[in-house]
Structure 1
Amino acid sequence: MLSWEDRRLMVKVAKLYYFEGWTQAQIAKKQNVSRPVISKLLSNAKKEGIVEIYIKDETSHSVELENKILKKFGLKEVIVISTAGFAPEVTKRQMGKTAASYIANHLEGVKSLGLSWGTTLLSLVEEYPYKHKKDTHIVPIVGGMGSDHVHLHSNQLAFHLSQKMNSSCSYLYAPAMVESVDLKERLVQSKDISYVLEEARNIDMAVVGLGNPFKSSTMEKIGYLNPDDLTSLRKAGAVGDISSRFYDAIGKELDHPINNRVIGLNLDEIKKIPEVVGIVEGSYKLESLEAALQGGYLDVLIIDDRMAQELVDSYI
């Protein structure tokens, strides 16, 4: 049991260190002891309950969620965004801003950056700063042509991001999905399309969103999927899609006619990209995210706090 003198010394040292801002070296000099002695006193003060440290900040819970998800799924980085009280459009904008900041600060050595398509990627591009990165080439990883919702298509997103970065970009002159497998095969054999797809297979980093085919599906909204397609996907066990490629509950790409009509990288090719950044928002995508993580498609996850909490509650 500690003597009164020992406790008094611990309290005195702790007050100087935590409240007065003294360094351990300064305290050691005042007490005429070595710095390791002060370090040990501070450590023992915590063990004895004399000192208790609290992090009082709204982000502390987010950081705790990040660490749990990071360890559980072996990811490179997890960023959880606090969205309490935000309207849906504000949440999506905040997600885009956070993703833009991550990408802008992690382009060192990235010669080619791949983009998928959709509303989440649109938020990223809209929030991306005008920050020159001339040596980073932008490549669509899925087709991006059509007359409806053009602002969501990969080619348009690649063009606008390259403008903000003052860099170059490629264009994949094909829709994300075509009417038949035969047409798809003929298109991917054409010189221009095959060249860009090969570029996409060799990118250094990709940014993707995740979709839930049965709720708030952009693919359905644009017209790529009709009610019969959705029924067929449900029967086949689809739970989500990345870059218009559908996968099942364990993250395996479906052997399905719809997947066979997509012009873009398949999920195995996406998995081989050195760094894949996934931006996911909305609790209704929880099952889609769980399966994508099981499939090992993501290296970096940017997620809202509500979904992060549900993910932790499900797995950890």
Structure 2
Amino acid sequence: MLNWEERRLMVKVAKLYYFEGWTQAQIAARNNVSRPVISKLLNNAKKEGIVEIYIKDETVQTVELEQTLEKKYGLSEVIVVSTAGFAPDMAKRQLGKTAASYIAKNLKGIKSLGISWGTTLLSLIEEYPYERRDDINIVPIVGGMGSDYVHLHSNQLAFNLAQKMNTSCSYLYAPAMVESDELKERLVNSKDIAHVLERGRNVDMALVGLGNPFKSSTMETIGYLEESDLASLRKAGAVGDISSRFFDAVGKEVDHPLNNRVIGLNLDEIRNIPEVIGIVEGSYKLESIEAALKGGYLNVLITDDRTAQELLEE
């Protein structure tokens, strides 16, 4: 039990430190004691309930979600975006804005930046600030050609991001998925395509989205996936895709003819990129995200608060 004098000293020290903004060294000098003594008094004031610390801001909840997810999945960083009350298109835009800001601040030492394709990455690029980054080369890590939905393809996204950064980009002159294994072999062995794929394998950082092939799938919308493909993917155990490569519930690339016809990096090659940033929202992708995290494909996850909460409850 503390006596009156001990309590009085604790209150005095706490008031100087928390309200008056004094440093521990200044308080120590004033009371003729060493700095560790002041540090111990402040800690004891918390233990005794004399000092209670609250963080009065709604972001404290998202920060807690971030830290718990980082620990659970061994990620270097998680950013949780609060999208409560937002319509779906506004939620995606908010996610794009947050991702754009994060990437713009974390490009130190990055010489080459890989990019996949999809609606989430489109929204990131739309929100990306105009700046000078002429020492960075943007590289598509999956093919992206076709006459429909061109704005979502990797080549178009690479070009748009290069314009925002005032820098150069490479082009992968091939579709994401081709009709036959034979055509794929011919294309990936052609000089230009082989060169860009090799560049893709050696990027310093990559930006990827994540898909659920069975719910609101952009690949189905674009016409890459037919009903019969979806049935056989389900049978093969696919739960999600990164860069048009399908993986199962434990994050392993599925053995499926469609995976063999993709022109782009495979999942092992994506995993080997030093920093892979996954930008994904929507709890309908929950199983896909969880499997991708189990597979170890992402270093950084940027997602919405509802999805983050559900990931922790899994």
SS at match of 1:210: coil
**Equivalents in 1 of 2:20, 2:111: separation in Å?**
48
SS at match of 2:114: strand
**Equivalents in 1 of 2:83, 2:197: separation in Å?**
36
1:1-316 map, 5 Å: 1-314=1-314
**Equivalents in 1 of 2:204, 2:30: separation in Å?**
54
SS at match of 2:169: coil
**Equivalents in 2 of 1:227, 1:59: separation in Å?**
42
Q: Residue type of the partner of 2:187?
A: L
Q: Residue type of the partner of 1:147?
A: S
SS at match of 1:6: helix
**Equivalents in 2 of 1:295, 1:38: separation in Å?**
47
Range that drifts further, 135-144 or 68-77: 68-77
Q: Residue type of the partner of 1:208?
A: V
1:237-264 alpha-carbon deviations (Å, 9 max, x no partner): 1100000000000100011011111110
Q: Displacement of 1:103 after TM fit?
A: 1.3
**Equivalents in 2 of 1:39, 1:294: separation in Å?**
41
1:244-288 alpha-carbon deviations (Å, 9 max, x no partner): 000000100011011111110110111111111101100000100
Q: Displacement of 1:32 after TM fit?
A: 3.6
Q: Residue type of the partner of 2:189?
A: Q
1:179-228 alpha-carbon deviations (Å, 9 max, x no partner): 11111111111111111111111111100000000001000000000111
Q: Residue type of the partner of 1:137?
A: N
Q: Displacement of 1:23 after TM fit?
A: 2.4
Q: Residue type of the partner of 1:246?
A: F
Q: Residue type of the partner of 1:41?
A: L
Q: Displacement of 1:76 after TM fit?
A: 1.1
**Equivalents in 2 of 1:93, 1:169: separation in Å?**
24
Q: Residue type of the partner of 1:67?
A: Q
Range that drifts further, 226-235 or 32-41: 32-41
Q: Residue type of the partner of 2:188?
A: V
**Equivalents in 2 of 1:218, 1:106: separation in Å?**
28
Q: Displacement of 1:99 after TM fit?
A: 1.1
TM-score (norm 2): 0.97
1:118-143 alpha-carbon deviations (Å, 9 max, x no partner): 00110111111111111100000000
**Equivalents in 2 of 1:87, 1:55: separation in Å?**
28
Q: Displacement of 1:29 after TM fit?
A: 3.5
Aligned length: 314
**Equivalents in 1 of 2:16, 2:197: separation in Å?**
62
**Equivalents in 1 of 2:9, 2:204: separation in Å?**
56
CA RMSD of superposed structures (Å): 1.1
Q: Which runs of 5+ in 2 are unaligned?
A: none
SS at match of 2:80: strand
Moved over 6 A (4+): none
Q: Residue type of the partner of 1:55?
A: I
SS at match of 2:14: helix
Identity %: 79
Q: Displacement of 1:117 after TM fit?
A: 0.1
**Equivalents in 1 of 2:248, 2:33: separation in Å?**
64
**Equivalents in 2 of 1:51, 1:43: separation in Å?**
9
Q: Displacement of 1:16 after TM fit?
A: 2.1
Q: Displacement of 1:35 after TM fit?
A: 2.8
Q: Residue type of the partner of 2:41?
A: L
**Equivalents in 2 of 1:43, 1:237: separation in Å?**
53
**Equivalents in 1 of 2:247, 2:307: separation in Å?**
20
